[in-house]
Structure 1
Amino acid sequence: MKRTIFMTIAIAIAAFGFVRYISGQANSVADVTLPPDYREWKLISVAHEGGNLHDLRAILGNDAAYRAARDKTLPFPNGSIIARVAWKYTPSEENNKVFGREQSFVPGSSTNVQLMIKDSNKYASTGGWRFVQFNDGKRAEEEVHKTCFSCHEPVKARDFVFTRYAP
C-alpha cells in the first residue's frame, strides 16, 4: 500500500514537471544573471521610444549577436545575447541654454535592462529566445517575463528581434 502511494506521488510530481517543461514554464529566469561585462558589448543601434515609455535606448550585443546583426544573419546563432539598456528621455538644461531653446535631450535615470538570450533548443517555445528584464540590477518578477514573447511575435520574420543594425 505504501509503495502504491509513493509511486502515485512520484508519477504526479514527474507529470507536473513535464507539463511545466512543455508549456515553457521550465524556462525560468531564476538561473539568468546580468552579464558583468554587458556594458562593454558593441553597439548595434539606438532608439527613442515614445508613448508611455518615453525613453532612450542603447541596443548592445555580445560578439555573436553583433556579428549577426551587422551581417544580417538570420536566424541569430545560439549564444547570441542582445541587451537593451533604457533611460528616461530628459531635456538637457545645460545644452538648451547654449541653443536658446529646448532641443537637446540626454539620458536621465535608468529604467531597466532587458536581455534576449538565444538558445533555439532550450527556448524553442519562445522562438529560440529567453527574455529577461532587470530593474536596478535585480531580475524582475517571473510574471514580467511572460509578456515579452507576445510582443516580439510580430517580428518573427526577423527572428523576433525588433532592432536592426545601424551602421
Structure 2
Amino acid sequence: MQPIRSVLAAAVVLALAGVAIAQTGYTPGPHNITLPSDWQQRFIRYATVDNASRKIIRHIYVNPEAFAAARPGQPLPDGTLIIMADTRARLGADGAPLLDQQGRFIPEPGWIAMGVQEKRAGWGVGYGPEKRNGEWEYARFNGDGTRSTASVEACFTCHLQTRAREDFAFNFWDYVQTRK
C-alpha cells in the first residue's frame, strides 16, 4: 500500500507543478529569454574558444549569481544564464586567422551573433522527449543585441544528444566540475 501512496503523492506534486507553470503563463520558446542590457559589464567570462572551421572566437559568459551558486556534481542552479558571444577572427592576407603571442585568434571588434541558454524551474514543459533539454530554453540574438529570428532547433538537438548527464550545458558544466 505504501508504494501506491508514494506514486499518488508524486503524481499530485507533478500535477500541481504543471498548474503552477500554467498559471505563470509559460509557453515554450525563445521569447522567454531576454538579453540583459548589462551583461557585458556584469557577467563573468569563463571561457574563450577559437573555432577554426568558422574563423570565429566564442566568448562564453555566465551570470554572477549562477557562477556563485554552481557546485560540482550538482545540476546547474535555477536562473543560470549562459551567453555565447561570437566575434570574427582577424584574418591575414592568406585568409587564415592571425594569432596573438599565446597562439590564440585575434578578434575583430564587435559581436556578430549571440546564443543564449537560460534555465528556469518549469521551463521545458510542452516539449516532447525528442527535444526537451531539462528546464532550459535557448534564444539567438544579433551582434547588436536585437533578437534574431534564426531557428534554435540546432541548440536543442546538440545539447540533448550530447550532454543530458551534464545538465545540457557544455563549457559551464565542465568549468564548475574542475574549478577550485
TM tier relative to shorter chain: 0.5 to 0.7
CA positional deviation for 1:67: 2.7
Deviations for 1:70-93, whole angstroms, at most 9, x for unmatched residues? x43531111111111111121489
Instruction: Work out whether 1:140 is the aligned partner of 2:141.
Output: no
Q: How does 1:58-137 map to 2 (within 5 A)?
A: 58-68=59-69, 71-91=71-91, 103-104=99-100, 105-108=105-108, 109-124=110-125, 125-136=132-143, 137=145
1:161 maps to which of 152, 163, 169: 169
Structure 2: runs of 5+ lacking an equivalent: 1-21, 126-131
TM-score (norm 2): 0.63
Report the count of equivalent residues.
Answer: 133
- More strand per residue: 1
- Measured after TM superposition, the shift of residue 128 of structure 1 is 1.1
1:45 aligns with 2:47: yes
Alignment partners' CA distance in 1, 2:107 and 2:73: 30
Quote the Cα distance in structure 2 between the aligned partners of 1:146 and 1:123.
Answer: 14
C-alpha distance in 2, partners of 1:139/1:128? Answer: 21
Q: With structure 1 as the length reference, what TM-score do the two structures score?
A: 0.67
Match of 1:16 in 2: none
Structure of larger gyration radius? 1
